Chains A and B, each alone.
Chain A
Amino acid sequence: MENIMIEVRDLRKEFRKAVKEPGLKGSVKALFKPVYNTVKAVDGISFTVPKGEIIGFIGPNGAGKSTVIKMLTGILTPTSGECRIDGKIPTKDRKKYVKEIGVVFGQRTQLWWDLALRETYMVLKEIYEIPDKEYEERMAFLNEVLELDDFITSPVRTLSLGQRMRADIAASLLHNPKVLFLDEPTIGLDVVVKDSIRKAIKKINAENGTTVILTTHDLEDIELLCERIVMIDKGKKVFDGDISELKRRFGQMRELHFELKNSADFEKLDYKGDFSFGEEDFTIELKGTIVDVRFNCDVVSVEEMLSYTLSRVHVKDINVKDADIEEIIRRLYLKGGEMLDAASENV
């Protein structure tokens, strides 16, 4: 297919880890008789990404997101399986391949600590062999989108995190790559900077048709940027589809939030005894006089829950919240592997 940008088939990465018993004795033992454990960081992942799409990679910590990104960017060699980006295999002919991609790791900068930002871009210009004219046009565009002007003469070490992230993103886009990999680009940033970075990503995607792969823990990133998400957990793909689909399928959770007039009333509420909720379908939390109930509205309707609650206790305030993406993902993370079957049946 022509408009497929990224094709990943049955990608696997195994790490061999030495198992150590605790204490000095264990360390000495490990030195003479090492025992290795094979950890499957990525365990048979397949997906394709069409040209120009923004795709969100989500999953709990340690799920294997970064490992997938590192294999796609040619940093790690896969144990088995294949990935092709624009027809190229990342670890083969790495130097040519990386000319067509841009990579940003939110956790660590790829810029040079002591170089002024302008000089940093000069070095990159040489590395990517960008002609003068193209370089100027590109700089002007990135300047406009990411507002680099305020700090372009400062050394990288003096930049704030938000400035540094913008500088990093600009650095990854200088050579107008076909694919942009963003590993947690909004980590640790304030709302304003997050917003400007999201806008910039959108704009770059729209104007240059850059395909973007983004990993994040910030679900707002996902909701605002991605048409499609791939969720992985324990190295396996758990969900692959667009967000509305995710909401439709897993969006049956509701949140009931109310404030009691008298906190002793709490004992009068026995949702678990009076309704037949499953383990995953219900949680309750009491903080002072405020009660948070999360429940599955397929099991008990919102109306039933409200009338049950109001008939037993006096409340100062009550409201019901719809499932938001965050809630859905929380549930997906908790269930992990089990969801895989539910998700893959219909995908």
Chain B
Amino acid sequence: MKRILKMHLIFIRQDLKKLMEYKVDFLLGAIGFLLTQAVQILCLGIIFSAIPALCYTLNGEVLDAWSFEEVLFIYGFSLIPKGIDHLLYDNLWGLGYWIVDKGDFDKYLTRPINSWIYILCEKFCVDAFGDLVVGVALIVYSLVSMSPETIAEINPLRIIPVVLVIPFAVMIFTSVKTGTAAISFWTKRSGHITHMCYMTNEFAKYPAKIYNTFVKTLITYILPFALTAYYPAIYLLRGESWWSIPVTVAVSLVLFGVSQLIWHRGLKAYESAGS
């Protein structure tokens, strides 16, 4: 464990150094990210300038409603686990896109260290600071601009379980990436599968209730990104769906197990590439 941390630190230091070296690359990446986020938030703002709140209706009856600030909070919160996964475990993308296909995975197998941990340690993705900064900013902004009644609803004690659940939420992201990237051991390339599954997290930035049954089931149980964003966020704000906290922990552990199983099966099927 200690040696893995030491190793990881060397790579982190290196990637931070690289950040200084390739300033333009980093700046362009960061600006691009900020623009994407700004456009999405602007859209939210425009929509909310026309309506008082986002409502969930059934047979014409309003069952639930979220204010602009609440939606912003959920949105901001969703960026935290996503950003942490992006920061620490970004290398998994390469696996499905080129590492296996080109036979570069060979080198991960010739070292006396778990190949999965090795590949995770190797990259520290500074671009993810964008997600984290925007996420924190949105959380702070939404809390500051919330109405006093909404603020009064928040029980500070609820912050503890929500903070504790974040690592498990990160694990949901990492496991989805691991499991889908490992498909490349059979198919040579699986980057697009990873991308497809990963992108469903975009749904999870908004209240899960507004979707139809299919999408709701998908993001709660199958690719459970709603557990990384909407559910913990709304629990924090309103104390609703307290069950989502233990469920997130359980689901993340199950997903982790499944993704490790796929990984280890995949290693046996790995065929390298001619040289």
Contacts and interface: CB of A to CB of B under 8 A. Distances in A.
Interface of A: 15, 62, 66, 70, 73-77, 91, 94-96, 98-99, 101, 103, 105, 107-108, 110, 112, 114-115, 119, 122-123, 126-129, 183-184
B112 A183 contact: no
Nearest to B121: A123
A131 to B, nearest CB: 12
A98 B112 contact: yes
A70 B106 CA distance: 8
A112 B121 CA distance: 12
B217 interface: no
B14 A114 contact: yes
A53 B175 CA distance: 45
A110 B107 contact: yes
Q: Which has the most chain B C-beta neighbours within 10 Å: A75, A95, A96, A122?
A: A75
Given A105-B106, A114-B14, A114-B18, A127 B272 contact: no
Interface of B: 3, 6-7, 10-11, 14, 18, 103-104, 106-107, 109-114, 122, 268, 270-272, 274-275
Contacts of B11: 112, 123
Contacts of B110: 73-75, 98, 101, 103, 110
> 10 nearest interchain CB pairs?
A110-B107, A99-B112, A103-B110, A107-B275, A126-B3, A126-B7, A75-B109, A95-B112, A126-B6, A98-B112
Given A75-B109, A123-B7, A128-B112, 13 more contacts: A70-B106, A75-B110, A75-B272, A76-B270, A76-B272, A95-B114, A98-B109, A98-B110, A98-B112, A108-B103, A112-B11, A126-B3, A127-B111
Given A75-B270, A128-B112, A108 B275 contact: yes
8 contacts: A70-B272, A73-B109, A74-B109, A75-B106, A91-B268, A94-B109, A115-B14, A123-B11
Nearest to B106: A75
A152 to B, nearest CB: 16
A66 B275 contact: yes
A100 to B, nearest CB: 9
A96 B272 contact: no
Contacts of A110: 106-107, 110
Contacts of A126: 3, 6-7, 10
B80 to A, nearest CB: 28
Given A62-B274, A127-B111, A77 B268 contact: yes
B30 to A, nearest CB: 20
A257 B7 CA distance: 60
Nearest to B102: A108
